[in-house]
């Protein structure tokens, strides 16, 4: 295998956006390590800097541009000789990005993370842009996994075949495509052998996994296969689209001992007019039935969702319906975002637009209610014994451990602090919840 030119020795990565991007970053990093480069955590020490960007909504796009500008400074103050913009932003806005930021040496899209070494060696200007594209690992695709990485994301599919009116993902990553069960199991087995204890399954539409293969593959069968892997203790499923959740899937999650009782169901809204305008494919009654059935089959499950406010035409009455639904569902975790008018989406330019002030006030209403619900839910957890995955030691001399319980997904759902405990990173220990601080919990080992 050809090595990268000797003058380029070190590389620094910045990974923005969703966990799917994180997986692609791991693949890029492994590809460069195989070709002789070394990773550095400090941008000022890097010969090559790679920013894996996000452009799902306006705020994500702005963050990506800000980080690229920040990293471009290293071409003056540091030792950077090559700045690479990768992922969704160049895939979607390559022409504009090239004109706005001549400091960028190379751009590459969402479909070619494994080709980054060839791209650097050839100093191509761009690779794989201007069309929806995604990347699925094969059994021999390299991926960087560190030995102390107890929890690992596994991308089981990429792209999305839905046509939600607000979403730019299909235009960036193309139609949904699933990996085979054998392919996913091979990667998961490798991750287990590397020390992973938790697999977090991700895709744009996880519950639709396997439909495109048209051979009977589905999420239930994948979970059964993954549940057999030695060394894996937890399996967590993210991004379950509401109309794809059925009784069979819920029972599979309930009955498999390694699949944690955690349901991530992004509803986006709950009023009938908004669900129709957003092209969500289901009505309010179906959404309510989904949540009620989930609670019936998995009464101990932790529920997460995301909601969108400020969509064109949204009224105060629509927001009231959303708040009422939140009161009924009692989500343990909820993320909210404000509508961003994205070119290329079906809703782009639609009237009437909601003012920034009104959308922000609606966002605040949603989050204020959710804060109350979280407080009530966490109060109800006090005295309950639950398993906690230890991930770090707090900066207090080693007397407090940091982890997550079964109902907390990595990066988004808060932390469980375990006091008066001794354990290693990667251990899963039973703990009793004794207190909470807003979105975080305090526990002690049983």
**Is 156 a residue whose pLDDT tops 70?**
yes
CB atoms within 10 A of CB 39: 14
Per-residue pLDDT band for 131 (boundaries 50, 70, 90) equals low
Residue 390 Cα distances to 148, 410, 417, 422, 425, angstroms: 11, 12, 9, 10, 5
Residue 221 Cα distances to 5, 73, 214, 216, 224, angstroms: 45, 49, 14, 9, 5
| Cα R_g (the chain), whole angstroms | 22
Domains of the chain: 10-127 (3.40.50.12160), 151-381 (3.80.30.20), 385-445 (2.40.50.140)
Each residue's pLDDT tens digit, 324-383: 999 999 999 999 999 999 888 999 999 999 999 999 999 999 999 999 999 999 999 999
Report the distance separating Cα 268 and Cα 282, nearest Å: 12
If 0-12 CB within 10 Å is exposed, 13-18 middle and 19+ buried, where does residue 84 land? buried
Q: What is the mean pLDDT of residues 62-76?
A: 92
Rounded to two decimals, the pTM is: 0.92
Nearest to 164 by CA among 242, 61, 240, 276: 276
Higher pLDDT, 175 or 421: 175
Weakest-pLDDT range from 49-53, 172-176, 413-417: 172-176
H or E element at residue 339: none
Higher pLDDT, 373 or 111: 373
8 Å CB contact between 76 and 101: no
**Is 42 a residue whose pLDDT tops 70?**
yes
Token code pair at residue 42: 């400090």
Q: What is the DSSP string of 181-210?
A: HHHHHHHHHHHHHTT--EEEEE-TTGGGTT
Each residue's pLDDT tens digit, 200-251: 999 999 999 999 999 999 999 999 999 999 999 999 999 999 988 999 999 9
The reported pLDDT for the residue numbered 362 is 97
Report the distance separating Cα 381 and Cα 440, nearest Å: 12
Residues 6+ apart with CB under 8 A from 380: none
The reported pLDDT for the residue numbered 386 is 94
The reported pLDDT for the residue numbered 99 is 86
The reported pLDDT for the residue numbered 124 is 53
Beta bridge partners of 431: 386, 445
8 Å CB contact between 443 and 420: no
Per-residue pLDDT band for 147 (boundaries 50, 70, 90) equals confident
**Is 272 a residue whose pLDDT tops 70?**
yes
């Amino acid at each position: 295998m050809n090595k990268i030119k000797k003058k380029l020795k070190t590389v620094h990565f910045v990974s923005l956006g969703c966990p799917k991007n994180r997986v692609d970053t791991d693949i890029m990093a492994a590809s460069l390590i195989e070709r002789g480069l070394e990773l550095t955590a400090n941008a000022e020490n890097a010969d090559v800097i790679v920013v894996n960007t996000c452009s799902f909504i306006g705020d994500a796009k702005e963050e990506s541009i800000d980080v690229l500008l920040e990293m471009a400074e290293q071409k003056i103050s540091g030792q950077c000789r090559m700045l690479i913009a990768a992922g969704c932003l160049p895939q979607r806005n390559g022409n504009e990005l090239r004109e706005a930021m001549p400091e960028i040496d190379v751009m590459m899209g969402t479909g070619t993370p494994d080709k980054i070494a060839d791209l650097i060696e050839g100093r191509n200007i761009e690779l794989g842009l201007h069309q929806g594209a995604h990347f699925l690992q094969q059994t021999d695709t390299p991926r960087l996994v560190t030995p102390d990485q107890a929890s690992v994301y596994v991308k089981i599919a990429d792209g999305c075949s839905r046509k939600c009116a607000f979403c730019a993902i299909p235009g960036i990553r193309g139609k949904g495509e699933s990996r085979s069960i054998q392919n996913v199991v091979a990667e998961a087995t490798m991750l287990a052998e590397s020390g992973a204890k938790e697999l977090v399954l991700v895709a744009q539409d996880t519950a639709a996994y396997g439909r495109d293969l048209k051979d009977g593959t589905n999420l239930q069968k994948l979970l059964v296969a993954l549940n057999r892997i030695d060394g894996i203790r937890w399996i967590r499923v993210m991004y379950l689209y509401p109309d794809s959740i059925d009784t069979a899937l819920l029972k599979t999650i309930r009955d498999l001992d390694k699949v944690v009782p955690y349901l991530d169901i992004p509803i986006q809204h709950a009023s009938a007019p908004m669900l129709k305008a957003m092209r969500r494919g289901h009505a309010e009654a179906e959404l309510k039935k989904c949540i009620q059935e989930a609670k019936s089959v998995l009464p101990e499950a932790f529920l997460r969702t995301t909601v969108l406010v400020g969509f064109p035409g949204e009224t105060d009455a629509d927001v009231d319906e959303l708040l009422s639904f939140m009161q009924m569902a009692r989500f343990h975790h909820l993320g909210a975002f404000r509508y961003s008018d994205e070119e290329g989406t079906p809703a782009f330019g639609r009237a009437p637009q909601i003012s920034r002030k009104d959308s922000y006030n609606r966002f605040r209403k949603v989050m204020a209610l959710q804060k109350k619900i979280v407080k009530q839910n966490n109060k109800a957890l006090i005295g309950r014994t639950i398993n906690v995955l230890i991930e770090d030691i707090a900066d207090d001399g080693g007397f407090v451990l940091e982890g997550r319980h079964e109902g907390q997904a990595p990066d988004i759902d808060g932390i469980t602090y375990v006091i008066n405990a001794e354990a290693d990173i990667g251990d899963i220990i039973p703990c009793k919840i004794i207190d909470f601080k807003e979105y975080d919990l305090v526990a002690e080992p049983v």
